Amino acid sequence: MKCLMFEELGKLRATETTDPTYPVWIRVEATGICGTDLKSVYVGHKYFKPPTVLGHEFYGQICKAPDNFPLKKGTWVVAAPYYECGECPTCKAGKGDLCQNKNYVEAGSFAQYVGVPENYMDGLFVLPEKKDTADYDVYALTEPLACVINGTSRLETIPGYSKVLIVGGGPMGALFALYYASKGIEAAIVEPNDQRAEKLRSWGISTVKQDQVQKGEYDNIVIAVNIASLVEAYLPLVRQGGTLLVFSGLPKGEMLSVDAGAIHYSEVSVKGCSGFALSHFKEAFETIRGNEKRFRQMITHRFNFEHGQEAFDMLKAGKAFKILIGADINGREEA
């Protein structure tokens, strides 16, 4: 089958790879490029070493399945790339995102097909019927939104009182703002890049400069950029009793310098999160289903495998928000 292969650091190539071995096949319509994919290609990642096929933010159609499989061939689905076992002590404690016995899809989704086990039904979500299947593209945002919802679960937001500040107007920061907009919670993004900030404002998202942020103005601040010094800079600005969320991943061993007075006397909490639990994925799916137009704005470009390197380079340069890649996309398209 066709795929976009991560061949070596900084290099991707359209080529062929082996077909799935799992009994249920999903024909991948498109996959979103995420921050982990970018990190793997340009910096390196301990779990995703070349040569390999990356990608996990995907949707598509069931195209092969045993006769007794609950979903018929041709059914459109979005798949959770993993989900927790539900049986271990961690899961029973309600911390499914930290489960060490997760169920996974077979391989990366920058490919024509992805295989899943027969018992993967909990991780498959049937898309609503549509006349134009191109409108399913927004469901590629389900997985990243699930990660965002995991983050929002660490924050206490009170309608009429809470204000959320997101530091970093990249794809994940934008998803935080759009999610809160769908829930009626006031949110703004700190984004120093004027062009990117203008794009965010065109989606109805408020933007501010760092020097405009007043101490105590926001009871929740999300660090959506992987720069450790931002934690030190923004922690003293959190309203008393509020929370600072370290959302973007920092290198292992990176040390944070924090204001002990903000934590002790102002009772500000510092929290982190990674990945998602199945409950977050379900909420992401329902949130997008009820707000397709709002979230679809984030998809700015589409590329096929032959233009995969260009797509990654464009996203690395900050010239796009969410890029979709698929075998059957016609060349390169700007949304």
> Could you report the per-residue pLDDT of 115-164, keeping only the tens digit for each?
999 999 999 999 999 989 999 999 999 999 999 999 999 999 998 899 99
Condensed to tens digits (0 to 9), the pLDDT of residues 76-105 reads 999 999 999 999 999 999 999 999 999 999
Residue 97 neighbours by CB distance under 10 Å: 22
Label residue 270 by pLDDT band (50, 70, 90).
very high
Task: Provide the 8-state DSSP code for 318.
Answer: T
Residues 189, 202: Cα–Cα separation, whole Å: 13
pLDDT at 159: 87
Domains annotated on the chain, with CATH: 2-144+276-334 (3.90.180.10), 154-272 (3.40.50.720)
Residues 270, 189: Cα–Cα separation, whole Å: 19
Residues 9, 51: Cα–Cα separation, whole Å: 9
Per the CB < 8 A criterion, the answer to whether 46 and 137 are in contact is no
Is the link from the previous residue into 50 a cis peptide, with omega within 30 of 0? no
Nearest to 296 by CA among 154, 127, 85, 137: 137
Above 90 in pLDDT, residue 328?
Answer: no
Label residue 330 by pLDDT band (50, 70, 90).
confident
pLDDT at 147: 98
Above 90 in pLDDT, residue 251?
Answer: no
Residues 16, 57: Cα–Cα separation, whole Å: 20
Above 80 in pLDDT, residue 331?
Answer: no
Residues 291, 263: Cα–Cα separation, whole Å: 37
> What mean pLDDT value characterizes the chain?
95
Q: Which two tokens stand for residue 315?
A: 């996203």
Above 70 in pLDDT, residue 335?
Answer: no
Is residue 299 helix, strand or coil?
strand
* Exposure on the CB side of residue 298, measured as CA atoms within 13 A: 32
Per the CB < 8 A criterion, the answer to whether 207 and 191 are in contact is yes
Above 70 in pLDDT, residue 208?
Answer: yes
Strand 82-83, strand 103-104: pairing: antiparallel
What H or E segment, with its residue span, contains residue 16?
strand 11-16
